[in-house]
Amino acid sequence: MRPYVIASAAVSLDGYIDDVADARLLLSDDEDLDRVDEVRAWSDALLVGAGTIRADDPRLLVRSAERRAARVAAGRPASPAKVTLTRCGKVDPHARFFTAGDTARYVYTCDAQVARLQRTLTGATVVGAGDPLTVERLLHDLHERGIERLMVEGGGAVHTLFLAAGVVDELHVVYAPFFVGQPKAPRFVNAAAFPQGPGNRMTLGKSRQIGDLMFLQYFPRSS
Ligand SMILES: Nc1c(N[C@@H]2O[C@H](COP(=O)(O)O)[C@@H](O)[C@H]2O)[nH]c(=O)[nH]c1=O
């Protein structure tokens, strides 16, 4: 058993999720960020890779006070649990992932790193997910902890890992109306095992214009 997984990404028209500048690139507009916030509020947990924590220092909280109140009224925590994964164990304990909000935090790493990370990340639950770490072990463990709805927010390495493993139940992509055009910038998906063929095709669910952005909901067939 594993959680229902929604993978969510905002990408440029040429497939980039950020540029090479230090500051975070905002691809969404306010209306789109509100759409993302609704998915966050639906979720039991939000997952980003350790690289995204290093690059973006995300808070990963539900932004809307009404949505937080509705969650609390339904007996849920105000914001979802936060989850990250790291093979090498490079995670800064002062990142907002750990300091912002009051919610459970899970750090999945390879078994060899667990003891070391547990010493530095005192406010988080550090879990070994195999050696090497596998996404199946991570999802199984999250489910055992009561996580039934997981939103995966990237970055590219994490999206590639989840999509290639065939564990994404729903894919949300919003296209921002510009190009990045920087070959060294991070992409939505990296080269991975995506075999060509009928099993590779996804089914389009909803599509919605949001100002000059375009939102697409896809259902991968493999799940
Ligand atoms: N830039 C970008 C996204 N970036 C995602 O949002 C995270 C930031 O979360 P927070 O600090 O809570 O606002 C960031 O780490 C990354 O996963 N998401 C989107 O829907 N649209 C965007 O344009």
pLDDT digits (tens, 9 = 90+) for 29-55: 999 999 999 999 999 999 999 999 999
Ligand 1: centre distance to CA 205 (Å): 23
The ipTM is 0.95
Question: What is the pTM (predicted TM-score) of this model?
Answer: 0.96
Containing domain of residue 109, as a range? Answer: 4-219
Q: Is residue 195 over pLDDT 80?
A: no
CB 18 less than 6 A from any atom of ligand 1:
no
What confidence tens digit (pLDDT) does each residue in 64-85 have? Answer: 999 999 999 999 999 999 999 9
Q: Please report how the helices 65-73 and 30-42 are oriented relative to each other, as an axis angle in degrees rounded to 10.
A: 10
Q: What is the pLDDT at residue 114?
A: 95
Residue nearest to atom 5 of ligand 1 (CA): 153
As a whole number of angstroms, the distance between CA 194 and CA 161 comes to: 11
Q: What is the pLDDT at residue 194?
A: 82
Mutate to test the pocket of ligand 1, among 28, 99, 212 (most ligand atoms within 8 A of CB): 28
For the CA of 96, the nearest atom of ligand 1 = 11
Residue 11, beta-bridge partner list: 175
Per-residue pLDDT band for 191 (boundaries 50, 70, 90) equals confident
Residue 31, domain CATH: 3.40.430.10
Q: What is the pLDDT at residue 222?
A: 55
Q: What is the pLDDT at residue 180?
A: 98
Whole-number mean pLDDT of the chain?
A: 95
Residue nearest to atom 15 of ligand 1 (CA): 58
Q: Assign 61 to helix, strand or coil.
A: coil
As a whole number of angstroms, the distance between CA 100 and CA 112 comes to: 28
Q: What is the pLDDT at residue 216?
A: 98
Average pLDDT for 93-118: 96
Q: Is residue 223 over pLDDT 50?
A: no
Residue nearest to atom 19 of ligand 1 (CA): 10
Number of domains in the chain: 1
